[in-house]
A and B are shown apart, each in its own frame.
Chain A
Amino acid sequence: DVKVTQSSRYLVKRTGEKVFLECVQDMDHENMFWYRQDPGLGLRLIYFSYDVKMKEKGDIPEGYSVSREKKERFSLILESASTNQTSMYLCASSLWGESQYEQYFGPGTRLTVT
């Protein structure tokens, strides 16, 4: 079974703190994604990576950065957390290729910024 794990289920941080969210997948997937999920807005793509050290901005990258130093690990960084970044953060991975667009999701990290 594909397994995608996220470092924390719940996280509480203060405004201005630097926050790291970690995601690890164990299936040698090329693609990894970070989404945030907010009520009424669905899932919105923050960043995407298709290979080590490669990244592309999604729809809402402002206030976030990412790091992918190893194929299995994709980190989301909030440089200076703000209250409007309180949200559920979901990491996903998938194989690259026409027939392999299924995404596997981690359990999510519910981040609260106070």
Chain B
Amino acid sequence: SQQGEEDPQALSIQEGENATMNCSYKTSINNLQWYRQNSGRGLVHLILIRSNEREKHSGRLRVTLDTSKKSSSLLITASRAADTASYFCATSIGGTYKYIFGTGTRLKVLA
């Protein structure tokens, strides 16, 4: 099974609303990243949060990390139609080069 699993699988909201998506993982991590993928394109890095951090902000993005629950959430505030994309979390496990990606949350923002 996947190390990182996003929830929900799909999310549809109105423009201006906030979007929250969650990522759960199974083993201890060094850090966790969130990526965005527009339809049929490559992934774009959004934000990285380290295992000793609890919250991080970048523009309209807010990421939290709860290592006791092995979960992270990505909040996009005041969403725009351009935020329509798939969002993936990726976890890094102890000193390795590997990142393990989840299956993603498909976000649709309706204008």
List residues of A whose CB falls within 8 A of some B CB: 4, 31, 35, 40-45, 48, 50, 56, 58, 88, 90, 92, 96, 101-108, 110
Contacts and interface: CB of A to CB of B under 8 A. Distances in A.
B42 A106 contact: yes
Nearest to B9: A40
A67 B88 CA distance: 28
Contact of A101 (B2, B33, B40, B88): B33
Chain B interface bracket (under 10, 10 to 19, 20 to 34, 35 or more): 20 to 34
A101 B48 contact: yes
Contact of A102 (B41, B48, B88): B48
Contacts of B92: 101
B43 A105 contact: yes
Interface of B: 2, 30-31, 33, 35, 40-45, 48, 88, 90, 92, 97-99, 101-104
B97 A50 contact: yes
Contact of B44 (A50, A56, A88, A105): A105
Contact of B97 (A4, A44, A48, A105): A48
Given A101-B92, A102-B33, A103-B45, A108 B104 contact: no
Contacts of B88: 42-43
Nearest to B42: A105
A17 B67 CA distance: 47
Contacts of A41: 103
B105 to A, nearest CB: 11
Given A42-B88, A101-B48, A108 B102 contact: no
Contacts of B104: 42
Given A90-B42, A103-B45, A105-B43, A42 B97 contact: no
12 contacts: A31-B97, A41-B103, A42-B102, A42-B103, A56-B97, A101-B30, A101-B92, A103-B43, A105-B43, A107-B42, A108-B41, A108-B42
Contacts of B40: 88, 108, 110
